[in-house]
Amino acid sequence: MAGTSPSALARNVDRYKRHLAECDLPRRNDLDGRGNLSEETLAGFTAFFLETCVDQVQFMSRLMQPSALRQRSLDWAREEEQTGALMPNSTRVLAHILAHGQLERKDVREVVGFDERKSRRLTALLHKRGIIVAPTHRAPFRLAFPAALAPRLMPGLYPSLPGPS
């Protein structure tokens, strides 16, 4: 059941169970598949399952607002640069990864316009903050979405928690 969440099926538990049970029904006639079980009922279950999957994709798209995610990410990085929490030109790294899916380490200097040492400090800080990740010390950088930034980057999915009172 990869592809949809159990909670999505739980909202329609009666339909889900009915379709699942119907998949074990014997075929109805010579036009209902080739095996012993009904192909028509399997097709009904498949349609129900795919409709549930599409509903979940639409639901998550409304919550995550992927078309605005890029801009929210860049706005956050610009603000962090202005406060000094990130080095200047950090936004360029994020913009490159957002546009290309990853950033090769050899290309960092060109993207940020710094010397080798300063470029490494910049990516080390982004990595330490959990903004970029790489599975090995030679692998390209990819964007990450640390949990601490979820309310800012995906406000529909992770609403802001009230601060301490």
pTM: 0.65
Convert the pLDDT of each residue in 86-142 to its tens digit. Answer: 999 999 999 999 999 999 999 999 999 999 999 999 999 999 999 999 999 999 999
Average pLDDT, the chain: 86
Encoded tokens for 91 = 């936004």
Contacts of 25 (CB under 8 A, 6+ apart): 37, 38, 41
Q: Rounded CA gap, 115 and 38, in Å?
A: 67
- pLDDT band, residue 31 (cuts 50/70/90): confident
- pLDDT band, residue 1 (cuts 50/70/90): very low
Helix axes 13-22, 39-64, angle to 10 degrees: 150
For residue 5, the model assigns a pLDDT of 54
For residue 105, the model assigns a pLDDT of 96
Convert the pLDDT of each residue in 36-90 to its tens digit. Answer: 778 888 889 999 999 988 988 888 888 777 778 889 999 999 999 999 999 999 9
Set out the domains of the chain in order of their start, with CATH numbers: 6-64 (no CATH), 66-153 (1.10.10.10)
Encoded tokens for 117 = 């040492």
Among 48, 52, 46, smallest CA distance to 7 is for: 52
Encoded tokens for 59 = 């639901």
Alpha helices, DSSP H only, in 6-163?
A: 6-10, 13-22, 39-64, 66-83, 90-100, 108-112, 116-128, 150-153
